[in-house]
Amino acid sequence: MTKYVFVTGGVVSGLGKGITASSLALLLKSRGYKVFMQKFDPYINVDPGTMSPFQHGEVFVTADGTETDLDLGHYERFIDEELNYTSNITTGKIYSSVIEKERHGDYLGATVQIVPHITNEIKNKIYEAGTSSNADIVITEIGGTVGDIESQAFIEALRQMRNEQGRENTLFVHTTLVPFIYGSNELKTKPTQHSVMDLRGMGIQPDIIVCRAPVELDENLKAKISLFCSVPVENVIDSVDVKNIYQIPINYYNQKMDEIVLKQFNLDIKKSNLSEWQQLINTVNNLNNEIEISLVGKYIELHDAYISVVESLKHAGYFYKTKININWVDSEKLEDEVDLDKIFKNSKGILVPGGFGNRGIEGKIKAIQYAREKNIPFLGLCLGLQLAVIEFARNVCGLKEASSTEFDELCQDPIIDLMADQKSIVNMGGTLRLGNYECHLKKNTLAYKDYNQEFILERHRHRYEVNNKYRDILEKNGLVISGINDKSDLVEIIEYPKHPHFIACQFHPEFKSRPTKPHPLFKSFIKASIDKK
């Protein structure tokens, strides 16, 4: 039978609830339990797929093609388990499914209400996470802060779950802030007390309180929180600010957080194996080299928009004991820049990530041309592939008008175009080419060398494709199509062997990189960048 942990947040947002949830999951997994994770987002969008990256940061895509919150990226990177459609539930998802049932007549006779219909739907989604994953423990993070109007139905559903399942099957972790007040130079517990009062007002007594603080909490302070918030003192866990987020699971382990959970669930406290994780921390704390990589994008003011890309670069860096410094280059500003040498002066590699719409496109194309002509290692992701192909068509094949129909519907040479089955689509939400598709790698190519296998599965999120009508001319001019999807005959990877390291993929490898298992494409890109003279 599956057990359920719920992680709520109090006082302020941005406390690192996602990292707390992931860290606990990692600890439980390292004791041999199968763990699955889920996040509730209290907004009305059905998923974040239609939101601007400026609003929301990256959209993380799971293997089954669900567009999800970026916290799921942390989850997968920490626990290295594939999450699925049950892993990110929004208010919009809940309401649309209840309304659909109402129209279908499933509630005939009843007045459809928040309690019980919406709360039942929420509980069903929690149970579904358990059954679809067959996990021993599901950890559900509730987005937002306790007390928000938006999240009330979720909190109420959790209260009911505790009532139905009991303490030995459900556990509440509440994360709060313990601020340090300069002047009096002390940590203050009052915000924690008040946010626990809010939670209790909604019928939930937390079992564990995680206190984010700039320094460790001493025993007196823990005792005070224990007294006011009615949790045993050992269940007050401190979460001090750290330089390296991978340290957080270890800090929780030292305070026996996973043991507290297992005890409450009456589960065996099996031996923990954290050696791989310890090794990772060692590596991260002892990097002995550093290089700069330029990331050319249009959402660079919000680094969260590229979080998985940045993490993947770091992971590959860890493998080579190298710290990766990112040179954030605004693609729009690049359009009028004449001195590219100055911009890329210190960079050993150039990466062009995914994106939508035509703003900043010409700047990215300029960066790609620069990388190609100056022999700088290049990695293009999704839109980065599409633009690399456009650049090549324009500047090597002589097709000066080459473009994508995404930017110019009537362009003379639509090197990048919509797939036939995308042309009739009217709804924007959830209709991109999403999730895992197979890619067949061509032998004797860089891609094949990197993966060292013939068939790979990678996650996608795009609507446009390389136009097969132009494959001949591209190949005649030296571009190698090193990965294709056999079923639909779609280009998945391109490379340019006349260059020391020029490769781009239509999929998003950044979703599959893990701190202890860097992705092959990132690994070889970083290696080439390190080796660049």
Could you list the active site residues? 382, 508, 510
Q: Please say which residue, 31 or 364, places its beta carbon nearer to ligand GLN.
A: 364
Most distant CA atoms of the chain, gap in Å: 75
| φ/ψ of residue 73, rounded to 5 | -65, -45
Report, in Å, the least distance between residue 253 CB and ligand GLN.
37
Q: Is 434 in the site for ligand GLN (CB under 6 A)?
A: no
Q: Are 458 and 447 in contact (CB under 8 A)?
A: no
Read off the DSSP letter of residue 425. -
Q: Please say which residue, 298 or 462, places its beta carbon nearer to ligand GLN.
A: 462
- Per CB under 6 A, which of residues 333..392 are in contact with ligand GLN? 354-356, 382-383
| φ/ψ of residue 254, rounded to 5 | -65, -25
**DSSP secondary structure string, 156-216?**
HHHHHHHHHH-TTTEEEEEEEE-PEETTTTEE--HHHHHHHHHHHHTT---SEEEEEESSP
Q: Please say which residue, 207 or 406, places its beta carbon nearer to ligand GLN.
A: 406
Report, in Å, the least distance between residue 61 CB and ligand GLN.
9
What's the order of all strands across the beta sheet hosting 402-404?
402-404, 413-418, 464-466
Q: Please say which residue, 98 or 383, places its beta carbon nearer to ligand GLN.
A: 383
x/- mask, ligand GLN, residues 267-306, rule CB under 6 A, reads ----------------------------------------
Report, in Å, the least distance between residue 422 CB and ligand GLN.
9
| C-alpha count within 13 angstroms, C-beta hemisphere, residue 1 | 8
Burial of 251 (0-12, 13-18, 19+ CB in 10 A): middle
User: Helices 247-254 & 275-285, crossing angle to 10 degrees?
Assistant: 130
Read off the DSSP letter of residue 442. P
Using CB under 6 A, pick the residue from 76, 121, 311, 406 that binds ligand GLN.
Answer: 406
Report, in Å, the least distance between residue 383 CB and ligand GLN.
3
Q: Please say which residue, 406 or 413, places its beta carbon nearer to ligand GLN.
A: 406
- Which residues are within 8 A (CB) of 27 and not within 5 positions of it... i.e. 6 or more apart? 249, 252, 253, 257, 258, 272, 274
Report, in Å, the least distance between residue 385 CB and ligand GLN.
8
The one-letter code for the residue type at 193 is: Q
x/- mask, ligand GLN, residues 447-486, rule CB under 6 A, reads --------------xxxx----------------------
Report, in Å, the least distance between residue 444 CB and ligand GLN.
28
Report, in Å, the least distance between residue 460 CB and ligand GLN.
8
Q: Are 379 and 502 in contact (CB under 8 A)?
A: no
Q: Are 344 and 312 in contact (CB under 8 A)?
A: no
Residue nearest to ligand GLN (CB): 354
Q: Please say which residue, 57 or 355, places its beta carbon nearer to ligand GLN.
A: 355
Q: Please say which residue, 120 or 422, places its beta carbon nearer to ligand GLN.
A: 422
CA 206 from chain centre, in angstroms, equals 28
- Which residues of the chain form contacts with ligand GLN (CB under 6 A)? 354-356, 382-383, 406, 461-464
